[in-house]
Structure 1
Amino acid sequence: MAQHHFHLTAQWEGGRNGTGTIDAGNLKSVISIPKEMRGPGVGTNPDEMLIGSAATCYLITLAAMLERQNIPVQELSLKTEGVVREERGLKFERITHRPQVILASSATADQRKQTEAATERAERHCMISNALRGNVELAVEANISTVTD
């Protein structure tokens, strides 16, 4: 069984409203508490990193599924929203992925149905979604269209 190890180093200066840095190879950033949570809003924050992780995993999974099914994709993009509830503490409540899939004009009705199914399946197969499932509500609201000549 193969294992993959990922590492992150972090530094922090100050108290609650301080700032820090993270370095995880290709991910290097300043970090702090977001302004929405009465922090300094410098650099990124755990909330953005969590939805970023969920979104990139979902998008890569969806792209791989569409490729394996030979779906003629013209354009693939994604908007993801994370909702944190502040009530007796903070709780990351929901992540909603809103993929936009534009199929080539050569796409068949069957390929469109396969694409619709893949947008839902990708969320269930994404490693990050599976790590969050049961703690965070996960949803997909896909928008699928076809290029018209």
Structure 2
Amino acid sequence: MVDRPVEKGGEDRGAMGGELLLVALGGCFLSNLLAAIRAREAPIQEVRVVVEGTLAEAPPRYRQIRMEVQARTEDRALLEKLVTMAERACIVANTLRGGVDLEVRVV
């Protein structure tokens, strides 16, 4: 369920849309990274992605989003290569980076 805190007019029963955007980015990226690791049978375990966003003053938006990848591996160069591949394959990252024409209309 999507909601907002009581002080922002909601009932605090779920994440806000902006929080879900960060979840979508992390999930999209991580699924691509795990697929790349599995496809190559890479010796990489305990993969974790932390996504953080910094809010702008106005209009409400994220001015910066950071993803940090943590994993257990002895081949850091391979991990970095697979992270780059996952980043390039992530539809959410590509959309955020390239911008998108957004249309809102009442029907």
TM-score (normalised: structure 1): 0.57
Give the gaps of 5 or more residues in structure 1.
Answer: 1-28, 136-149
Name the structure where strand makes up a greater proportion of residues. 1
Name the structure where helix makes up a greater proportion of residues. 2
Per-residue Cα deviation, 1:3-26 (whole angstroms, up to 9, x for no partner): xxxxxxxxxxxxxxxxxxxxxxxx
Match runs of 1:1-149 below 5 Å: 29-32=1-4, 34=5, 39=8, 40=10, 42=12, 43-87=14-58, 89-103=59-73, 107=74, 111-135=75-99
Residue 94 (structure 1) shift? 1.9
Structure with higher Rg: it is 1
Give the gaps of 5 or more residues in structure 2.
Answer: 100-107
The residue identity in structure 2 corresponding to 1:128 is: V
Identity of aligned residues (%): 28
Runs of 4+ in structure 1 off by over 4 angstroms are none
Aligned residues: 97
SS in 2 for 1:86: coil
Residue 74 (structure 1) shift? 2.4
Question: Structure 1 pair 116/44, CA: closer, same or farther in 2 (3 Å)?
Answer: same
TM-score (normalised: structure 2): 0.77
